[in-house]
Amino acid sequence: MAKKTVYSCAYLRVDLTCPWVKWSNDPNVIREQWLTAARDMKKSIERHCDVESVTIEANTDDVCQFCGRDWTEDNTVYNGGCCNKDEQDYQESISFAAAQEGE
Ligand SMILES: [Zn+2]
């Protein structure tokens, strides 16, 4: 007698790339398209298949809230100036901190 590995369940994995997701140079647009495509696919499966539940699972990434580029820094409020707004917010926070110290 030896241990044997058997399937206890099976899942479907659908990679939502082309043609559901159109290329864009705005990463936020692409991310929103992934979620929309997943929701549409979920509705289609529920409508056409006799299944109890379909769930959407998604990976997460840390990105800049302004431009959507990957977060590359250890700092949680400044992403190294990935975009004008990130740099502007950082400069304003430095000015604010300096003003607080000067009071
Ligand atoms: Zn940015």
For the chain of 103 residues, list the mean pLDDT of each consecutive stretch of 10.
89 78 82 88 90 86 91 94 95 87 78
Whether residue 54 is found in the same domain as residue 86: no
CA 84–ligand 1 middle distance (angstroms): 7
Whether residue 42 is found in the same domain as residue 92: no
d(CA 69, CA 37): 21
Whether residue 73 is found in the same domain as residue 98: yes
Joined tokens for residue 13: 């994995």
CA 24–ligand 1 middle distance (angstroms): 16
Split into its structural domains, the chain has a count of 2
d(CA 54, CA 42): 6
CA 76–ligand 1 middle distance (angstroms): 12
Task: Report long-range pairs for 29-34 (Cβ below 8 Å, ≥24 apart).
Answer: 31/68, 34/58
d(CA 23, CA 18): 8
Provide the whole-model pTM: 0.63
